[in-house]
Structure 1
Amino acid sequence: MRALMCEHFGPPEELVMRDVPSPQPGKGEIRIRIMAASVNFPDSLIIRNLYQAKPPLPFSPGSEAAGIVEAVGEGVTGFKIGDRVAAMTTWGAFAEEVVVPASHCVPVPASMPFDIASSFTLVYGTAIHALKQRGRLQPGETLLVLGAGGGVGLAAVEVGKRMGARVIAAASSEEKLTLAKAHGADEFVNYADVDLKATIKELTGGKGVDVICDPVGGALAEPAFRSIGWDGRYLVIGFAAGDIPSIPLNLALVKGAAIVGVFWGSFLVREPALHLANVAELYEWYEEGALRPSISKRFSFGESAAAIRWIMDRKALGKVVVEMASA
């Protein structure tokens, strides 16, 4: 099989396409023929040795895929050959085949195309876990979503609306805010042009927001946290801006607010039953039309390295997908 390989740490332009042996599933594992793979920001980190997961060299990047089960390892009972599945791989998805633990896979509804399935679980799984289990978002509360034009941000806009929140979308361009509006956001902040804290204060009548979803980090974190209301929950999801921020803890004290970590990858391993319940609910919302995944760019398998560069250069609106069938 062919796979995009990281043979030394560096930029995506130094990744190479290789012929490698087909992987064989072990106990509790399945092998998937990949039909589509999603491109996520951690893919740009793992190839530069900047991610918390540290695979041994050489390896294939790619953290999320969808395809068809073509081999089943010992002890696997939940899947059979021919099943349509989505898989969280951490790495290995930019290849024609991948072996993953069966516990890291979910069945894909027949109504969901593979490109959508490959770009669904991570962003929507992160969003619902963040807002439901970690943020305790309630109907009628106000949710501020930073990076609202990106994958996780756009998913959080839709999930927040489905959970009954008033959603304020914040992004760095009018194009991204237009996309957030199309996916249901109620209010909009272009933080490239206006003061984030002052604008949120105006939009909430001085009350502040109840929950903040932050997959961006960097310089936005402190002004965002200063806009939070009493008993607010600030959800730390990621650091797409590149910098891990520091927030004065006295702000949490005087606002009675919580800074809450959201590590979805660890959640699905530690609490698999709750994760599967979340996914089942997400599929229901997808079927009813409340969730409308947005794929802004498609690349062929041979263009996988360029797809990672596209993400690194922050050109993505919504999701970016590598389609194996077009290789």
Structure 2
Amino acid sequence: MPLDSGRQEARRVQTSGGALAPDAMARAGGLAGLRWCFEARSASRWMGCRRDAFSQIHLSPLALSSTILLHSQRHYRATLCTELTKPLIIGNIPSASLQPYEVRIRVHCCGVNFADILACQGLYQEKHPLPFTPGMEFSGDVMEAGKAVTRVKKGDRVIGVANTKALAEEYIADQKLLWTIPQGVSYESAAALPVSYGTAILALEHRAQTKPGETVLVTAAAGATGLAVIDVASHILKAKVIAGAGSEKKCSLAFQKGAIQSVNYSETSLREEVKKLTDAQGVNVVIDTIGGDIFKEALHR
């Protein structure tokens, strides 16, 4: 239903659940802004890390876990959560053999999402047995392909999505979950795409079936998922976007991405302002990545 009474019927989408859009990640705006880059060129500095407000997730000094160190086969280094709420460590993991449709990736960059942080605190909706390696999106090069793989070949630059285990030097993926990186796009930029843009595409196209000319309201519009929704809705689906955010600075960022109108819901009622902006007709689609009171207000008649 629209935000207010009218003839239009709004298709509401609250991103929750699913491999690409876990509820906890969506409420945090998708990509947390962390990037882990594996640099094989420097033995003394093989991993680079950029940290932001989620600083509780960090690396301790290089540590090898004797419980998983097997000298009889090739190993690769991976980030390990061995104890919830504690610093992650780097350990050696034995390489696994490929199934026919699987691809071995040399990981260059891995996005760290809010869902990864929750998982390492034991607060995520899926509980991973310890120890586990976090990481849901990545970019890298194809090292090896199974005999039935047809989508990529050795040497291709690819991005992909994962449930876990991508925060490592290597990752084995099903070929269906890989896409080639266009020429000129960096590994860092590519690694930021799968979760946020995957969530936006699933919500707008597959769930809401957004049509050209329709009006889309997106909350938390300045977050990674919100910005991806604005980009896809306005530039690909040719919809009109109203951006909801908690400050004028965030609203300005949403305008830069393609929103045509905005609501600073820290200063005004989201429902009443959208009612004014749409001449009491409401919107066609609501993409909510917050929940709680904002979600209720977005859906209020």
Q: TM-score, normalization: structure 1?
A: 0.65
Which amino acid is 1:90 matched to? N
Equivalent position of 2:281 in the other structure: 207
Mapped pair 1:217 → 2:259: no
Cα distance, 1:46 vs. partner? 2.0
Q: Residues 23 and 98 of structure 1 are in contact (CA less than 8 Å); yes or no, is this contact kept in structure 2?
A: no
In 1: Cα distance, 2:239 partner to 2:132 partner:
41
Mapped pair 1:2 → 2:77: yes
Residue 144 of structure 1 aligns to a residue whose secondary structure is strand
In 1: Cα distance, 2:79 partner to 2:247 partner:
32
Over aligned residue pairs, what C-alpha RMSD do you find?
Answer: 1.7
CA shift digits 1:274-315 (9 cap, x unpaired): xxxxxxxxxxxxxxxxxxxxxxxxxxxxxxxxxxxxxxxxxx
Mapped pair 1:112 → 2:185: yes
Cα distance, 1:24 vs. partner? 3.7
Corresponding residue pairs, total: 225
Equivalent position of 2:152 in the other structure: 79
Mapped pair 1:178 → 2:255: no
Cα distance, 1:143 vs. partner? 0.7
**Runs (5+) with no aligned partner, structure 1:** 228-327
Which amino acid is 2:280 matched to? G
Equivalent position of 2:56 in the other structure: none
In 1: Cα distance, 2:187 partner to 2:96 partner:
21
Greater helix share, structure number: 1
Mapped pair 1:149 → 2:196: no
Equivalent position of 1:195 in the other structure: 269
CA shift digits 1:61-95 (9 cap, x unpaired): 11000100112234223222111111101111211
Equivalent position of 1:168 in the other structure: 242
Cα distance, 1:19 vs. partner? 3.0
Q: Residues 24 and 31 of structure 1 are in contact (CA less than 8 Å); yes or no, is this contact kept in structure 2?
A: no
The higher relative CO (CA closer than 8 Å, separation ≥ 6) is in 2
Equivalent position of 2:105 in the other structure: 32
CA separation of 1:64 and 1:157: change in aligned 2, threshold 3 A: same
Cα distance, 1:17 vs. partner? 2.2
In 2: Cα distance, 1:44 partner to 1:52 partner:
12
In 1: Cα distance, 2:108 partner to 2:118 partner:
23
138-147 or 42-51, larger mean C-alpha shift: 42-51
Q: Percent identity?
A: 39
| Residue of structure 2 aligned with 1:88, choices 161, 164, 178 | 161
| Residue of structure 2 aligned with 1:59, choices 112, 127, 132 | 132
In 2: Cα distance, 1:24 partner to 1:171 partner:
47
**Runs (5+) with no aligned partner, structure 2:** 1-75
In 2: Cα distance, 1:161 partner to 1:16 partner:
42
In 2: Cα distance, 1:20 partner to 1:194 partner:
52
| Residue of structure 1 aligned with 2:141, choices 49, 68, 74 | 68
